């Protein structure tokens, strides 16, 4: 409930704000503004997830379904990496008048760059943001073959506190297949997590 939310580390309760803060700190101390990197994200989340009870409090999307997840929440999922696609190029950081000239990162979201009303009308190009194009690895992930419900429950792949695991629906299984943004460069996908759980930041509310 609310008490549990208050006890969660800040980066778990509001992951995108934590990433933004780390990005801003790195950008202010670097001569290369808006540059790609880790910015201390992995270390902060590894430390937070190592605290007792924190990992279990993060919803597992195969158990609850992506439609039940709050936008911009930290989630976890169990999967098998079946394939790796070609590198993907995307707008990783941008700045314009709406950001007061400061770089903002979109690295861990699927949201588009916000536009002004003038931009929406297509009549004013002065607000066109300055962009940084970054590269990331794209993995094709599928549910673990032959994994039964009792194995998922035994291994802690539940829905979080106070909710039981459910059989994933076909829609949920497809959602797991589309969870593509595990980056082998060491972002929030944790290398060497014994429970084979990857905790990732996704803005599920912006998923089309």
Residue 182 has pLDDT above 80, yes or no: no
Q: Are 34 and 95 in contact (CB under 8 A)?
A: yes
- Return the SS3 of 147: coil
Burial readout 163-187 (b: 16 or more C-beta within 10 A, e: otherwise): eebeebeeebeebbeebebbbeeeb
Q: CB 143: neighbour CB atoms within 10 A? A: 18
**pTM beyond cutoff 0.75:** no
CA–CA dist 74, 198 (Å, integer): 11
Instruction: Give the start-to-end residue ranges of the domains of the chain.
Output: 2-86+136-206, 92-133
CA–CA dist 50, 133 (Å, integer): 33
CA–CA dist 32, 2 (Å, integer): 40
What's the pLDDT tens digit per position in 120-161?
554 455 567 889 999 999 999 998 888 887 776 666 555 554
Angle at 89 between CA 85 and CA 92, to 5 degrees: 130
The confidence score (pLDDT) of residue 198 equals 39
The confidence score (pLDDT) of residue 30 equals 58
The confidence score (pLDDT) of residue 109 equals 82
The confidence score (pLDDT) of residue 113 equals 61
Tell which residue, 208, 179, 202, has the closest CA to residue 69: 202
The confidence score (pLDDT) of residue 125 equals 53
The confidence score (pLDDT) of residue 194 equals 35
What's the pLDDT tens digit per position in 80-127?
999 999 999 999 988 888 888 888 888 988 766 655 544 455 445 556
Token output for 110? 């699927």
What's the pLDDT tens digit per position in 38-88?
899 999 999 999 999 999 899 888 778 888 888 889 998 888 999 999 999
């Amino acid at each position: 409930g609310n008490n549990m939310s208050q006890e969660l580390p800040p980066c778990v309760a509001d992951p995108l704000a934590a990433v933004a803060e780390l990005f801003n700190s790195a950008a202010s101390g670097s001569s290369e503004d808006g540059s790609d990197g880790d910015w201390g994200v992995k270390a902060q989340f590894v430390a937070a997830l190592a605290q007792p009870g924190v990992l279990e409090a993060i919803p597992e999307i195969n158990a609850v379904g992506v439609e039940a997840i709050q936008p911009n929440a930290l989630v976890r999922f169990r999967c098998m990496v079946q394939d790796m696609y070609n590198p993907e190029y995307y707008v990783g950081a941008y700045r314009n008048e709406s950001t007061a000239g400061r770089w903002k990162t979109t690295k861990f979201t699927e949201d588009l760059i916000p536009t002004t009303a003038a931009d929406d009308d297509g009549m004013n190009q002065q607000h066109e943001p300055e962009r940084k194009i970054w590269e990331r690895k794209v993995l094709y992930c599928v549910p673990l073959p032959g994994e039964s419900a009792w194995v998922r429950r035994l291994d802690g792949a539940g829905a979080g506190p106070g909710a039981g695991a459910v059989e994933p629906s076909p829609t949920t299984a497809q959602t797991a297949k589309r969870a593509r943004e595990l980056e082998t460069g060491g972002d929030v996908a944790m290398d060497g997590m014994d429970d084979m759980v990857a905790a990732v930041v996704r803005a599920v509310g912006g998923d089309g």
